[in-house]
Structure formats: structure tokens, C-alpha cells
Chains A and B, each alone.
Chain A
Amino acid sequence: MSTTTRNAFVYRPTASPQAAANWTPRQVLMTNLRTVIGRAYPRVRGLARERSWVFFEILLPFLATSAFVYVYRALGAPPQYIGFVVLGGAMTAFWLNVIWMMAQQLWWEKSQGNLELYFAAPMHIMAVLFGMAFGGFVMSSTRAAAVLIIATTLYGVSFSIDQWALLLAVFFLTLGALYGLGMMLASLFLMWGREAWHLTQLLIEPVYFVSGLNFPVGRLGVLGSVAISLLPLAVGLDAMRQLAFADAAYPAGTPSPLVEAGILCVMVAVFVGLSRWTLAVLERRARQEGRLSVRWQ
């Protein structure tokens, strides 16, 4: 390697190989930042390169959303319920991304034979998870925006928003909590084989139900309260509905948006912290049991 191609990330003059192995904090930070960008890159670029993704990723939630819109129309529901369904349909893009492309990703990488390369590379695996989350967020945002715009236009949904700042804060806090949960699940799935695939399936419709995807979660009573305290999708969706349809009669029984924003803040901290802890514990256990490179089990 010529001197001109050397840079701070791969080379610095040292007295010995041992000294070379002791990275400076800057090297560690820059390598992890590059990892975040590197892992997010295929997801962001994939949006443009794999056109079928755009079609199916938008079509799938839009069709499901449309079906529930027609259910409410068949029942003669008030217009705000159509809006509830559209908002829920847009948020499913993030939930599906979290469980399919976050929670299940490390298991999938294991099946592809990439996981051992991740662990052998000189980077923190949390940086990989952050990169996955960032790329997934960008990817899902296009889906969610498309569903929201198309469905709002097609079904004539009108929003009434008084507190834009709080709505945006709740939206980003919901995403933070959702992707934190995804990072935690990704760590758990390190230990599993085919169970990961099936448990991912199990996290779709049942979570939609307890999160009140198409109806106010307060209608579920105690179950709804439990969902609000545990599931970011439930609490985030409830807060966003209250804020996005401020002029509509909203069923009582759930906390105010401000309180729900507080719950989301706690969730972000807990899920990200837990993901770091579970990743450390389960990585060690997976190494001990030789599960990091076992494929197709």
C-alpha cells in the first residue's frame, strides 16, 4: 500500500503490532460511524435499484388499508375512523420493517453466512444495528408517506392538527422506540433458528390487534392499557390520532398525548439500553453454544 492511500482509519505509525491493535477513540468512533453508514447504504440505495420493492412495499399496506376503509364504509362509520385506519396503515410500514428487517435481520444474515463476518470485523455490532435502523427508517418512510398521501387523497381524509410540534415529536419518539424494540429483538433472535421466522409472523396480526391499528386502543379496556405501557406502536398511534384529529370526538380511556410522549421517551431509553445488554449477553452465549454460524436449523 502506498503512503498516499493510507488514512486515519486503517493506518497510523506504531512501534509494534500490539500498539497498532490499540485503537484511538477517534478510530473507534469513525469506524463505527462508517459502519452505520455502510449498513444503512444498501437499504437506502436499494429503494432506487430494486423497483419491485417500491411497488410491493407500497401496494401491500395500501391494499390492506383499503380493505379496512371499506369495512368502515360498509358499517357507515364516522369519517374520522377512515382517518384512523389510514394513519394506522401508514404506521404498519414501520412495524413491518422493524420485525422483518430489524428483528429478523441477524438471523437472516446467519442463514446467508454473513453473520460471522459481522462479528469478525473490527466494529461494534450495535453500529450495525443502528445502520439497519437508519436505513430501515428511510426505506419505510417512503412507504408510509406514499400510503398516507394516496389513501388520504383517495378516501378524502381530512386532518385537524393543532399541535404540530408535539405531533412530530411523538412521531419521531415512536420511531425511536420501535427501532429500539427491533434492535432488542434482533439480539434475541441471535439465539434462534427457524423459531425466529415463525415468531416474526406471530408479531404481526396479534400486535395489530392489541395496538388498536384500526380502532382507538382505549376500546380494548385493560388489554389496551397493557398495550400502551408495552408496545410503542400502540402508544404512538394513540397519541398521533389524538393530535391529528383534534376536532373529532375521540373515545376516552387513554392518556393525553403529552403523557404518551413521556411513555415513549421511557420506551426509547429502555429498549435501546436493553438491546445493548441483550446483545452482549446473547452474543456471548451464542459464541459459547456455537450458534453464530449454525445455518438452516
Chain B
Amino acid sequence: MTVEEAFQPDVSRLGSPAWGGFDPSRTAGRGWPDIRRSFATAVRLGWQMEANWTDPILFFIYSVAKPLASALILVVMLEVISGGSRPDYRAFVVIGSALWSFVQSGVSGLAWMILDDRERYRMLKYVYVSPSDFMAVVFGRGVARIGVGAMGALITIAVGVVLLGVPFDVARIDWGLFLGVMVVGVGAILAIGLMLAAICMQTRQESWSYPEAVSGALFLVSGVVFPLAVLPAPVQAVGLLTPLTWWIEGIRRALFPGGVSSIGGPGSLFTELTGAAEPGPLTIAVVLLATGAVATLAAVAVFRASDRRAKDRGLLDQTTGS
């Protein structure tokens, strides 16, 4: 069933009220069903924009090549130095780089939606003035890109387990921790993406590289491919305030229990502050929830403020080609 078929407007209610005036309640829309429909349409549109430029096989190769190559770079670096004597660290880098494709796609997806629609397709103003909830559309487009990132992450982990000898046992998975951390973590990723989308609404076309720069900075402080303990203490502190650090640690702990911790360990700020060797599942869940909530609230506030300023300054229909 297509979206167009699903939506059946009540034609009899489209005319003027019997008393002949304007009924403002009609502009309010139908609330949640409208938002859901806008979101679903945006997801569908986003997926088609991501996927229909080529045939499925090439699209599949494209989707997995990037995260897989990132993981292989780290695996070869590890092999060059350790000569295969650190299988625990191999699992650490494979999982970290696989999960990072989620972050990259989520963070860049929302920001690039703004830039794509404003600068390239020049549709942002039309999307904005449509009855759809603008934030729902932005999220929908971003979710499609996260889907592509998720596919790359899954394949990278599968290649790691099957070909690179990453130890994996389905029976040892902590499903509760995995599901809880995944839901909150993806929410935090979308929040960071929303914040960048808000920033890109204010900036010019050159901001294509901003999401990459931000994800590069977060890559450095989130314990993705090396434990935070090797960083200077102030940088570790920044990392501990980032929800992505706790998300990645939680997923590692849930899927590969007993592996290297990116947060704790000798020389880490976490161990110094808490005295614990590494954070437990409850600590991970609570801190992730707290940092994720702060990131989400901040993102919504920044997006609303950016939205108001963009309308005020006429930035929604301003193309800044260079």
C-alpha cells in the first residue's frame, strides 16, 4: 500500500464552515498520525535517495566497503605491531570501527539532509512550508542513512567473526544490556546529528565537511579503537561526558563480555575516580541514559533556536553556491 493510498482526506470537511468564516482548528492537523506519516514518507524518500542510484549489488558493496576498509586498516596496524598476539584487541578494534559506521551515518545523515535539500536540490523551503512536521522529516531522512550504516556495521562484525577470528558466542550475549544500550545510543546519535543539522541550517555550503570533522573529534575521545587510558586526563574527561563512549562500551560488553574495556583499566581517569577496574553494566546504562538525555534536550533546544533564526534571517531558501 502506498502512502498516497493510505491517506484519504475527508473532502466534505475541506470547505468553509457553515458560518462562512475561518476555523483555525483546521490548521492544527491530526497530531501524531500526521507526524508518523511524515516520518514514514521521509524514511522512504531517504532510503530511495540513498539506494536507487545503482543496482542492489553495487549498493551493497558500497555500503560495506567503507566500514570494512576502516576495520581492516586497524586490523593490519594491529598485526604489524603485535604479530597476531592480541586477539582481544582485534575484537576491540573490529567492533569499534563497525559501530562507528552507525555514528558517521547518523551524524552526517541529518546534517547532509539540510545541505542536500537546500543547496543541491533546492527543496528545503518547499519541505518546510508543507504540512509535515519539519523535525519529523529531518529525522526520517536521517534514519534512512542510519539503515545504510547499520548494514555496514553488521557485515563488518560478521567478517570480523568469520574471517578475522573475533571470538563471538551467541549464548554469552547480554540481550537486555544490548537492546537497552542500542536504543538509547541510537537516540543519542540522532541527537548529535540533529544538533549538526541545526548548525548547518545557519552555515554555508562549505559545511559539508562539518559532520566529518565532528565525528572525527568524537572518534578520538570515544574509545572507539583504543582505550581512553592512553589519552591525557582532560581529554579522557571529555570522552566520559560523551554518550557515544558509553554506548560503544555497552555494546562491547553486551556482545563480547570479558573483552578489553575502553573506559576503565590501568591509568584511566575512570579507575582513578571510582576505584573500579571498569564500569559495570548498570553504570554503563545509567551514565548512557544521563548523557544521552542531556544531548537530546540540548539538540532539541538548539534545533528549535536554529529553526527560529533561519526563518528570521531567510536562511531556509538561501542557496550559498560557491
Is B230 part of the binding interface, using a Cβ–Cβ cutoff of 8 Å? yes
B54 close to A198 (CB less than 8 A) = yes
- Are A64 and B80 CB-contacts (below 8 A) given A52-B206, A201-B66, A209-B69? no
Chain B residues lying within 8 Å of A198, measured Cβ to Cβ, are: 53-54, 62
- Are A296 and B120 CB-contacts (below 8 A) given A67-B220, A75-B89, A76-B81? yes
Is B167 part of the binding interface, using a Cβ–Cβ cutoff of 8 Å? no
Which chain B residue has the least Cβ–Cβ distance from A61? B216
Closest 9 pairs between A and B when the two form their complex, measured CB to CB: A63-B216, A205-B69, A74-B226, A206-B69, A194-B53, A209-B69, A75-B81, A77-B81, A60-B213
Residues of A within 8 A of B (CB): 42, 46, 50, 52-53, 56-57, 59-60, 63-64, 66-68, 70-77, 81, 111-112, 193-195, 198-199, 201-202, 204-206, 208-209, 213-216, 219-220, 296
CB distance from A253 to the nearest CB of B (A): 12
Is B28 part of the binding interface, using a Cβ–Cβ cutoff of 8 Å? no
CB distance from A219 to the nearest CB of B (A): 6
Is B217 part of the binding interface, using a Cβ–Cβ cutoff of 8 Å? yes
Considering residues A53, A74, A195, which has the most beta carbons from chain B within 10 angstroms of its beta carbon?
A74
B321 contact from A52, A112, A209, A219, Cβ within 8 A: A112
Stretch binding the partner chain, chosen from B70-78, B249-257, B291-299: B70-78
B89 close to A59 (CB less than 8 A) = no
A213 close to B73 (CB less than 8 A) = yes
B65 contact from A70, A205, A214, Cβ within 8 A: A205
Q: List 23 A-B contacts (CB under 8 A).
A: A50-B206, A52-B207, A56-B209, A59-B216, A59-B217, A60-B213, A64-B216, A66-B220, A67-B224, A67-B225, A70-B226, A70-B231, A71-B93, A71-B225, A72-B77, A74-B226, A75-B81, A77-B80, A195-B53, A198-B54, A202-B66, A209-B73, A215-B73
Chain A residues lying within 8 Å of B142, measured Cβ to Cβ, are: none
B230 contact from A74, A81, A193, A201, Cβ within 8 A: A74
Which chain B residue has the least Cβ–Cβ distance from A96? B209
Contact bitstring B81-114, A, C-beta under 8 A = 1, else 0: 1100010010001000000000000000000000
Which chain A residue has the least Cβ–Cβ distance from B53? A194
Which chain B residue has the least Cβ–Cβ distance from A112? B321
A219 close to B78 (CB less than 8 A) = no
B216 close to A60 (CB less than 8 A) = yes
CB distance from A13 to the nearest CB of B (A): 40
A71 contact from B72, B213, B216, B226, Cβ within 8 A: B226
Chain A residues lying within 8 Å of B72, measured Cβ to Cβ, are: 209
Residues of B within 8 A of A (CB): 49, 53-54, 62, 65-67, 69-70, 72-74, 76-82, 86, 89, 93, 120-121, 203, 206-207, 209-210, 212-213, 216-217, 219-220, 224-227, 230-231, 321-322
B53 close to A60 (CB less than 8 A) = no
- Are A206 and B76 CB-contacts (below 8 A) given A53-B206, A60-B216, A64-B216? no
- Are A57 and B209 CB-contacts (below 8 A) given A77-B81, A219-B80? yes
Chain A residues lying within 8 Å of B82, measured Cβ to Cβ, are: 75
Chain A residues lying within 8 Å of B77, measured Cβ to Cβ, are: 68, 71-72, 75, 214-215
Give the distance in Å from the alpha carbon of A66 to the alpha carbon of B227 in the complex: 14
Give the distance in Å from the alpha carbon of A64 to the alpha carbon of B73 in the complex: 13
Which chain A residue has the least Cβ–Cβ distance from B209? A56
- Are A63 and B76 CB-contacts (below 8 A) given A50-B206, A201-B66? no
Chain B residues lying within 8 Å of A64, measured Cβ to Cβ, are: 216, 219
A206 close to B66 (CB less than 8 A) = yes
Considering residues B72, B226, B227, which has the most beta carbons from chain A within 10 angstroms of its beta carbon?
B226
Chain A residues lying within 8 Å of B203, measured Cβ to Cβ, are: 52
Other than the given A73-B230, A209-B73, 12 more pairs (CB < 8 A) read A42-B322, A56-B209, A63-B220, A67-B216, A67-B226, A71-B77, A74-B226, A194-B53, A195-B53, A198-B53, A198-B54, A208-B73
Which chain B residue has the least Cβ–Cβ distance from A213? B73
CB distance from B233 to the nearest CB of A (A): 14
Considering residues B66, B72, B80, which has the most beta carbons from chain A within 10 angstroms of its beta carbon?
B80
Chain A residues lying within 8 Å of B226, measured Cβ to Cβ, are: 67, 70-71, 73-74
B220 close to A70 (CB less than 8 A) = yes
Chain B residues lying within 8 Å of A220, measured Cβ to Cβ, are: 76
- Are A74 and B73 CB-contacts (below 8 A) given A195-B53, A296-B120? no
